Structure 1
Amino acid sequence: MKFTDGFWQLRPGVTALYAQEAYDIAEVTDTPDGSGIMITAPTTVIAKRGDVLNRPVLTTTLSSPAEGVIRVRIAHHTGRNWHGGFPLAGAAAPSTASTKVSATGGELNAGSLVARIAPGAPWDLAFEVEGRRVTGSGNKAQGYLKLAPDASVDPGIVRNARDGGAVPTSTTFVHEQLDLGVGELIYGLGERFGPLVKNGQTVDIWNADGGTSSEQAYKNIPFHLSNRGYGILVNDPGHVSYEIGSESVERVQFSVPGEVLEYFVIAGPTPKDVLGRYTALTGRPPVVPAWSYGLWLSTSFTTDYDEQTVNSFIDEMSARELPVSVFHFDCFWMREFNWCDFEWDPRVFPDPTGMLGRLHDKDLRVSVWINPYIAQRSPLFREAGDAGYLVKRADGSIWQWDLWQAGMGLVDFTNPAATAWYQAKLRALIDQGVDCFKTDFGERIPTDVVWADGSDPERMHNLYTDLYNRAVFDVLNDARGAGEAVLFARSATAGGQSMPVHWGGDSTSTFASMAETLRGGLSLAFSGFAFWSHDIGGFEGMPDAGVFKRWTAFGLLGSHSRFHGSSSYRVPWAFDDEAVEVTRHFTHLKMRLMPYLFQLGVEATRTGAPVMRPMQLEFPDDPAVAHLDRQYMLGPDLLVAPVLSDSGEVEFYLPEGEWTSLLTGQAVEGGRWLRETHDYMSLPLYVRPGTVLPWGAREDRPDYDYHDGLTLRVFRGGSGSHSITVTAPDSTSRDYTADLEEITG
């Protein structure tokens, strides 16, 4: 949100009070993390004693919840209610930071990260990583802003047609502006489909069902990462507005409604270090089952299907040697107008328990679509409404609308009894044979409602998805056991990475949408999410054969892979015979890569490093990769450049060293751009110099004993010996060592 009119003036109707000096710096013991520093910052420079009268101040508190992390809280009136931040599992330990206050200022030392506040004017709060200033809050950076009723800036986010909520009435905001250095680039802020580098953008953290072709996003994360060796989490689940060098071009501004703004500065120095500390604070994913890495085949959205249709797809995939691990039933497994009643439509699935058993006999897992809405026609609407399990309006009536499902209500997951009721419906499906759930929606959450626990509706709009996905993930974890629970979720907020897997939402069936989907996944990876998927071929529309085949190669070179569409089936033979060959080739390749991919997932639980990685995450010191968003690293060792054109021509960059094509074995010298033309059976897939790649013995399934028949493929560009770890699906872990002089790759 922009408050100023150029450099000199405020916009009409805006009154701003800025921290002008650190008038008083004191050590305190009552911060959320124990000991810390409190700074009293008057909104004018105090030149004489009378200046302290009739003068607002901002109170800034510094503390540390963990090594390398500093909490900053800016408050106008400290006695006003604050709706609170995210649940942060990593902020529970006692602080180990040290504080020091002297005539030269205040210092909070959190190990690799230090905050320094200079006394007096001008206001200057600096953050140092390993002794180097990486950013800071300077003159007119910390501000408290009031809007007149006729102010020319919107008092909150501009609502969209599917929101249904009223425009926020807050007329007060707190903002911070942190220095944006020369050459500094900003990444993250959730799954965003525009340019990967966020400089110059305005970003609103407000979950919305906007597809992949707009500025809206399903997964809004108020966390950004800088190439200068630090990250920032704004600890507010409500609406956070960002101006990333787009209002003050020398700064990153973030603002929230109300009286309090809290954020965390997170140290690097490398991007991986930042993500490691960030995910330690907000949550890391558990191990997801090996079978989930296999191909997911869907009924698609509005297609007609019954058990015979399902079996025809599965049997034909098997006959063509196209391994499928999961079969997914989308919305119409339930009767129309009844979503969600969690009952199989008896007109097309008269024997669901028997059908699920027959699918399991074919060695398949089963996924079914759900959402958190209860349609008016569903018998569960009255059941939930009478019990008080649906969100209500201020007058006590049930909140309802007609977008998506006629007269639908919304399950109130702030009510523990409502959560238990919802989970009981899922347990019945699990007992029937369902293995996992696609948790669709969770973004269209109204703000003109009353929650059972009294939560602020603005806070709950983004946070709802966390409660929804947690309810489902927990019931799967309880029923299936640790390491077997997996979702296919669309919406998320900070911490959502602890409930994998997430997919990229509603794309269109074009090369342009394929590219924006990739950008969204890379941005989400920069936001702490280790596992990610997308609709191969695009969701809306029918892809032509070329788009489908190129997207298939891309989609099978990630952590999770799904064929899914809107109004048409996505079985390969619906396109052409070559699409079948492409699917077979890249599905078999992924199965061979499972010892490598599964180990990446295991390591993500310990480090937070994503499976699919932006180039900047692996090569932070190579300036040539800074803006790259059409290629990525699959783990640390495989470089993938999806083909995004009809012609098969692709331009990509190889960092320095001798890289080897995994598909052809050809060695290529890096440190330069390359242009190649690929047929549908190929794409740029290069192995990093000196890699030891564990190569599995099977290509028919993802969940096999990776140690049995394992081959170590050793690639050019290294020397000496190199050890790797391989963990099998049964958790058996072994270390292997290879001599890098013995080139076999």
Structure 2
Amino acid sequence: MATVQQLHSTLQQHLTIPIHQGEYWYGGCVMDGPVYPFTQGSDYQLDMIHLNTPNQVAPAFISTAGRALWSAQPFNLQVKGNDLEIAGRSTLYLDESGHNLKDAQQTLARQTFTLGKMPPAEFFKLAQWNDWIELMYKQNQADVLKYAHGIVDHGFAPGIIMIDDLWAEYYGRWEFSIRKFPDAKGMVQELHDMGFKVMVWTCPFVTPDTPEYHDLRDQHMLIEKADGTPVIREWWNGYGALLDLSNPKTYAWYKHALTKLQTETGVDGFKFDAGDAKFYDDDDRSVMQLSKTEQTQLWGEFGLEFPYNEYRVNFKNQGAPLVNRLQDKSFEWGVNGLSELIPDTLTQGLLGYYYNCPDMIGGGEYTSFLGKKGHLDQELIVRSAQCAALMAMMQFSVAPWRVLDKEHLDLCIQAAKLHHDYADYIIALAQNAAKTGEPITRPMAYEYPETPLAFAKTQFMLGAKLLVAPVLEKGAAHKTIYFPAGKWQSIHDTHDVVTGGGEKDVPVDLSTLPAYQKID
């Protein structure tokens, strides 16, 4: 029988948990994926209470020794020598009944995940499209349709398409700008006729000195300062007031605004951006007097009203049918680029954010694309597409046909087709995740605890059957892969069978995405 220790703590009372010899820990903060796992002597600390991360956070850690640590509230954690030192706001739970990483993750799922439902299958079936890199802040009907037609005209299948920021006149008026979209309903219908599902960008900010702002302010439906006036916070698009979604009137107002847009134009869902804890303060006044992390949690919970949703930030809400993407990555091979897609994605999965998207192919950090017309690294875009092809979801933004020559474009089409070829398998894994809490993309150590640590961030398992080892280095002619014991057959060549039990150098060229299925 499992034994769960309840470790009561305050921020003034420190708790110490010894790290076992050879034990490695994952969890906490998705953005810290590249530094996971940590162990004895690691230089790692995480202050969840004051954390300003642009991605998902869960108050939980799990280890390769089968131990699971969690709490209902954020806590601080630091490795000191051979110990974990922890201080929290509420009861900490430590379960030591497991033997390996899978045991620990499944304990966490049983104790903290919301199971039972997954997002619509369309998220997993085909490559998604977001017009952000192409249109940026110049959203308009003509160019949205041009982008959509470019997708199908160049050999890609229509999937979900997202219309990004500035399709409305300002924040808080969630209606298509008539200047930019003279016939929004007709546009959405045309996109539907082409085979697309349509999502649009939204956020919890309200532009000051607008009719919506004045109305919300007068009814005390915005987050306020102690004197009862709305807080005005700086964010990446200037300054804005914040919806108090803990107020039932505000919640109903926002839901009505979005459902009205759906009814009038036919859009299918919403990309929910912002909501970061850094935009809130624990001293803010709200109806339920929520902390900054609880505001982020509530922002995520709101998305459950809309099956077609996407989030960049979340606190808790693990296992819920919410699509969680990675933060905007840079157009880079290394730091904050391609090399971080695997560790970040695996951290998402272990924590329960397994309905995940590894950001836009090539990266969603738009400044990486400014002033580079004709000078983009085409190989990086191909490798980014290949890396995402056998993950839960893949999403394009920069138009491959605009920035790639025929050779590289064909390889991106091939990567998108590969994702579609494995859609039934991926959807089955998503269905399993909804039932059990098991990740879709999994660390090697989840299925094969004996995997050397050197391979923890360069390859992964898609479910229990498929080993995927994307090429992550520019100009690579080979990829060193660890094959667990057994026979592994290449998904590209049935005659290519590897007998596992160690590592092997596999030759690669630009067209190669090393992936193997266990056949015994």
TM over 0.5: yes
Question: Which consecutive residues of structure 1, in runs of 5 or more, have no partner in the other structure?
Answer: 1-66, 76-143, 145-171, 210-215, 477-484, 691-717, 719-745
Question: Is 1:462 the equivalent of 2:301?
Answer: no
| Per-residue deviation, residues 180-219 of structure 1 (Å, max 9, x unmatched) | 111111111131243221231112225766xxxxxx4521
- The 1-side partners of 2:333 and 2:498 are apart by 27
Residue of structure 2 equivalent to 1:82: none
The RMSD of aligned alpha carbons is 2.1
| Per-residue deviation, residues 229-255 of structure 1 (Å, max 9, x unmatched) | 121103314xx21112xx2x1211111
Shift of 1:319: 2.4
2:312 to 490, 494, 497: 490
Residue of structure 1 equivalent to 2:270: 437
- The 2-side partners of 1:453 and 1:306 are apart by 37
2:482 to 634, 648, 653: 653
Q: Identify if the C-alpha distance between structure 1 residues 303 and 571 changes in structure 2 by more than 3 Å, giving closer, same or farther.
A: farther
Q: How do 1:635-674 residues align onto structure 2 when only pairs under 5 Å count?
A: 635-648=463-476, 649-665=478-494, 666-674=496-504
| Per-residue deviation, residues 278-324 of structure 1 (Å, max 9, x unmatched) | 22322236122221111111111525343222222222322232112
1:203 to 32, 35, 46: 46
2:440 aligned partner, one-letter code: V
- The 2-side partners of 1:494 and 1:403 are apart by 23
Question: Is 1:329 the equivalent of 2:169?
Answer: no
SS in 1 for 2:287: coil
Question: Is 1:313 the equivalent of 2:147?
Answer: yes
SS in 2 for 1:225: strand
1:538 to 352, 355, 363: 363
2:363 aligned partner, one-letter code: G
**Is the 2:141–2:184 Cα contact (8 Å) retained in structure 1?**
no
- The 2-side partners of 1:455 and 1:316 are apart by 48
- The 2-side partners of 1:393 and 1:419 are apart by 19
Q: Identify if the C-alpha distance between structure 1 residues 310 and 323 changes in structure 2 by more than 3 Å, giving closer, same or farther.
A: same
Runs (4 or more) in structure 1 with deviation over 6 Å come to none
Question: Is 1:592 the equivalent of 2:426?
Answer: no
SS in 2 for 1:218: coil
- The 1-side partners of 2:454 and 2:319 are apart by 24
Q: Identify if the C-alpha distance between structure 1 residues 263 and 297 changes in structure 2 by more than 3 Å, giving closer, same or farther.
A: same
- Identity among equivalent pairs (%): 23
Q: How do 1:544-693 residues align onto structure 2 when only pairs under 5 Å count?
A: 544-564=377-397, 569-620=398-449, 622-625=450-453, 628-648=456-476, 649-665=478-494, 666-688=496-518, 690=519
More strand by share: 1
Question: Is 1:187 the equivalent of 2:26?
Answer: yes
**Is the 2:123–2:393 Cα contact (8 Å) retained in structure 1?**
yes
**Is the 1:331–1:370 Cα contact (8 Å) retained in structure 2?**
yes
More helix by share: 2
Q: Identify if the C-alpha distance between structure 1 residues 285 and 640 changes in structure 2 by more than 3 Å, giving closer, same or farther.
A: farther
**Is the 2:490–2:516 Cα contact (8 Å) retained in structure 1?**
yes
Question: Is 1:304 the equivalent of 2:148?
Answer: no
Residue of structure 2 equivalent to 1:394: 226
- Report the TM-score, using the length of structure 2 for normalisation: 0.90
- The 1-side partners of 2:254 and 2:143 are apart by 30
**Is the 2:120–2:308 Cα contact (8 Å) retained in structure 1?**
yes
Residue of structure 1 equivalent to 2:373: none
Residue of structure 2 equivalent to 1:229: 66
Shift of 1:588: 1.5
SS in 2 for 1:507: coil
2:309 aligned partner, one-letter code: L
Residue of structure 1 equivalent to 2:372: none
- The 1-side partners of 2:206 and 2:116 are apart by 29
Q: Which is further off, 493-502 or 593-602? A: 493-502
The higher radius of gyration belongs to: 1
Shift of 1:74: 1.9
Q: How do 1:104-503 residues align onto structure 2 when only pairs under 5 Å count?
A: 173-191=12-30, 192-199=32-39, 200=42, 201-206=44-49, 216-237=53-74, 240-244=75-79, 247=80, 249-256=81-88, 261-265=91-95, 267-282=97-112, 283-284=114-115, 286-293=117-124, 294-300=126-132, 302=136, 304-335=138-169, 338-431=170-263, 432-443=265-276, 444-447=278-281, 449-456=283-290, 460-474=291-305, 476=306, 485-503=307-325
SS in 1 for 2:229: coil
- The 1-side partners of 2:282 and 2:111 are apart by 31
**Is the 1:654–1:671 Cα contact (8 Å) retained in structure 2?**
yes
**Is the 2:270–2:310 Cα contact (8 Å) retained in structure 1?**
yes
Q: Identify if the C-alpha distance between structure 1 residues 686 and 625 changes in structure 2 by more than 3 Å, giving closer, same or farther.
A: farther
Q: Identify if the C-alpha distance between structure 1 residues 454 and 590 changes in structure 2 by more than 3 Å, giving closer, same or farther.
A: closer
**Is the 2:66–2:102 Cα contact (8 Å) retained in structure 1?**
no
- Report the TM-score, using the length of structure 1 for normalisation: 0.64
2:329 aligned partner, one-letter code: S
Shift of 1:333: 1.2
| Per-residue deviation, residues 684-715 of structure 1 (Å, max 9, x unmatched) | 11112x3xxxxxxxxxxxxxxxxxxxxxxxxx
1:517 to 325, 341, 349: 341
- The 2-side partners of 1:578 and 1:508 are apart by 23
SS in 2 for 1:327: strand
SS in 1 for 2:363: coil
- The 2-side partners of 1:225 and 1:402 are apart by 36
**Is the 2:119–2:321 Cα contact (8 Å) retained in structure 1?**
no
Shift of 1:174: 2.1
